[in-house]
Amino acid sequence: MSRTLSAPVTVAFDYTRSTGPVLGRFLTGLRDGVLVAGRTSDGEVVVPPPEYDPVTHAATTDFVEVSPTGTVVSWSWVAEPVAAQPFDRPFAFVLVLLDGATKPFLHALDVASPDEVSTGMRVRVRWRAERTGAITDIEGFEPVTDPAPPAPGPRSTLDPVTGVVTPVALDYTYAASPEESAFYRGLAEGRILGQRCPTCAKVYVPPRSACPADGTPTTDEVELSQTGTVTTFCIVNVPFLGQRITPPYVSAYVLLDGADIAFLHLILDIPADQVRMGMRVEAVWKPREEWGTTIENISHFRPTGEPDAAYDTYSQHL
Amino acid sequence: MRDVAVVGFAQRQMQEFDGSPTCVELLVPLFAECYEQTGWSRRDIGFWCSGSSDYLAGRSFSFVQAVDAIGVIPPVNESHVEMDLAWAVYEAWLKIQTGEVDTALVYAFGKSSAGLLRRTLALQLEPYTMTPLWPDTVSLAGLQARAGLDAGLWDEQAMAEVANRSLTDAEKNEYAVRKGGSSVADLLSRPMYADPLRKHDCAPVTDGAAAIVLAAGDRAREVRDRPAWLSGISHHVDPMSMGTRDLTRSPSTARSGAALDLDGVDLAELHAPFSHQELVLRRELGLGDDVRINPSGGALTSNPMFSAGGIRIGEAARRVWAGESDKAVAHATSGPALQQNLVCTLDASTGSTDGGDR
């Protein structure tokens, strides 16, 4: 058995960015099926155009169209493409010096094997049929063959491109720490496990790899009581995506008996407006057959009916 | 300027760390080693600075969680850089120069194996015209290697010589995750991985962490007989775009090196995650054949993200402590194809005439 528990997780987000005038001009060109370069003060013709001149630092204002055909000046073979690259089959990343430009342009070349690529070979842009004003409007380069396909028609009647949306999704194997793993394995057996700091004797639940006060590894496992005290709470009134309980409901810090740090859980089986600091509560577990290595094994906490705890018993944990 | 030295260094590197992305359980023993080396406790550390990135392992605010490894009662003076450990060293060096503190412990950590590293790193690229193509780190380095091969600046023999020397030296490094030299002919008989790069031309994906202790003047002398004095430190950056710079050169390295006094350097630890990049760096720093390069085995044998650059500083420093080097140069890189570069010198003598704060 691995020391730690792990699970796959995907972090995904669409990055929305405004382009500014220079990149907007370039991306508008791509949508129209033309390559727009910038001319710099030292006479270079650069694609994509730099937003500011590398020598004078003035905003780039001198634009020129360059050819969709050019020459490979460097290449690297991609034998094992990763997700969202221009092709899902082996291809080459290439630096292409487009005819009319003086600096090379980075994109992909669609050929089947490294034997079909060489520095100096002639290549040309293959446009995507549906273009949105993004670098991916170019599917990639392809070797020059005759006859040339027809160039895309002008689409200059559309508004200029002012923004791009770039979806990003990253896949991870997410591991819990050894101490967190022990906590989750305990939950799968109906137990709540914490650890005690050998320096200050504080008990942390969930356990941490080191005591945040002392920096000492927490070593002694402690099984905690399933009853505790509400130290502080909030009433959730705001709906949000993925919400499982109808508002209003209570999210609270519960200080388990024997623990020195409170942990967050739900307080149910009582009207939200009757929850109070010092209220004594107990864990309510889901049916055993639904348990896994997860905090969700505990459905919620509910009042025990005991008298409220005195403020002094939890005042150091607020 | 105050004289500042590296006086402590600890590292852990592995192919796959069986632990959380916060790496707290990895940092605790590293800090313990630093306390043992210096005879200090956490209360003797005036400033803390860490290097990490949440993108690496998909855990938000992992650098906040990592602070658990310090222990923050009473509160500590702490900072973070989304960069390699070497840049945390730079921030700590500056902090000591302000006179606010005399000592610092900097650390970095990363669990590269949690994701697909060469893909994750596409997020450090220009977001409009590069990231949407997801150019992976290996491909970008391949474009750079090819540019030099085509220009006749290096050949695959020279690249394999770098790899073979690194793998041979790594046999003596307990933390190297790839080791074992063979011969240039053997390496060249191996298949291409990302033409023009073979696997041994590319740093292995590595998990790990490292910590470095800095101290000023007499605080450094109380720890070691031969502190490794940071007699110079400089960093520069080249354009992000792959098309607007000459990929066979590294102006930012050259400029950083020119800001330092490299005369008398006898050892170099260069952060070159790809074999040809060592050739670029040696040229830009003007290192002759008499300079011992990467006795640790270098990044080609172990390259934990966010600490591998700083590890170069630590490896160079411990050779100064041991008397194996009188003056070493350490280099760290960040960004695609050597885009950003930091260079520093580690000296057995301070160069100061009064032997202390000036």
Mark yes or no for CB contact B72/A212 under 8 Å.
yes
Q: What is the pTM of this model?
A: 0.95
Q: How confident is the model at residue A241 (pLDDT cuts 50, 70, 90)?
A: confident
How far does the CA of residue B23 sit from the closest CA of chain A (Å)? 8
Looking at chain B, the whole-number percentage of residues with pLDDT higher than 70 is: 98
- 3-state secondary structure at position A115: helix
Helical H segments across chain B, by residue range: 24-38, 62-66, 85-97, 117-120, 137-151, 156-170, 184-188, 217-221, 251-258, 275-285, 308-321
> Buried b vs exposed e over B74-106: b needs ≥16 C-beta within 10 Å?
eebeeebbebbbbbbbbbbbebbeeeebbbbbb
Q: What is the ipTM of this complex?
A: 0.94
Q: Which residues contact B146 (CB under 8 A, 6 or more apart)?
A: A74, A75, A76, A119, B196
Residue A147, pLDDT score: 67
Looking at chain A, the whole-number percentage of residues with pLDDT higher than 70 is: 96
Mark yes or no for CB contact A74/B146 under 8 Å.
yes
CA distances from B222 to B3, B40, B89, B97, B352 (A): 14, 11, 20, 19, 17
In the predicted model, is pLDDT for residue A207 greater than 80? yes
pLDDT tens-place string over residues B125-171: 999 999 999 999 999 999 999 999 999 999 999 999 999 999 999 99
Q: How confident is the model at residue A152 (pLDDT cuts 50, 70, 90)?
A: low
DSSP annotation of A316: G
Vertex B90 angle, CA B242 and B71, to 5°: 120
Q: What gap in Å lies between CA B233 and CA B120, rounded to an integer?
A: 29
Helical H segments across A154-309, by residue range: 178-187
pLDDT tens-place string over residues B163-192: 999 999 999 999 999 999 999 999 999 999
- Here the tokens at position A94 are 């290439």
Q: Which of A95, A175, A212 sits opposite B20 (nearest CB)?
A: A175
- 3-state secondary structure at position B101: coil
| Mean pLDDT computed over B255-265 | 97
Q: Which of B58, B193, B243 sits opposite A95 (nearest CB)?
A: B243
How far does the CA of residue B161 sit from the closest CA of chain A (Å)? 21
| Mean pLDDT computed over A47-58 | 95
Ranges of each domain in chain A: 6-169, 177-317
In the predicted model, is pLDDT for residue B115 greater than 90? yes
How far does the CA of residue A306 sit from the closest CA of chain B (Å)? 35
**DSSP notation for B115-183:** S-HHHHGGGGS-TTTTGGG---HHHHHHHHHHHHHHHTS--HHHHHHHHHHHHHHHTT-TT-SS-----
In the predicted model, is pLDDT for residue A149 greater than 50? yes
Q: How confident is the model at residue A219 (pLDDT cuts 50, 70, 90)?
A: confident
Taking a contact as any Cβ pair under 8 Å apart, which residues of chain B between 290 and 329 contact chain A? none
Vertex B335 angle, CA B199 and B215, to 5°: 105
Mark yes or no for CB contact A23/B128 under 8 Å.
yes
Q: Which residues in chain A touch residue B67, judged by CB atoms under 8 angstroms apart?
A: 212
Q: Which residues contact A31 (CB under 8 A, 6 or more apart)?
A: A131, A132, A133, A137, A155, A158, A161
| Mean pLDDT computed over A50-69 | 96
Q: Which residues in chain A touch residue B133, judged by CB atoms under 8 angstroms apart?
A: 85-86, 93, 106-108, 135-136
- Most B CBs within 10 Å, among A42, A52, A93, A98, to test the B interface: A93
β-pair partners for B230: B346
Q: What gap in Å lies between CA A71 and CA A97, rounded to an integer?
A: 5
**What dihedral angle (degrees, nearest 10) is formed by the CA atoms of A69, A71, A76, A81?**
10
Q: How confident is the model at residue B59 (pLDDT cuts 50, 70, 90)?
A: confident
List, in order of start, the domains of chain B with CATH numbers.
4-116+205-221 (3.40.47.10), 134-203+231-347 (3.40.47.10)
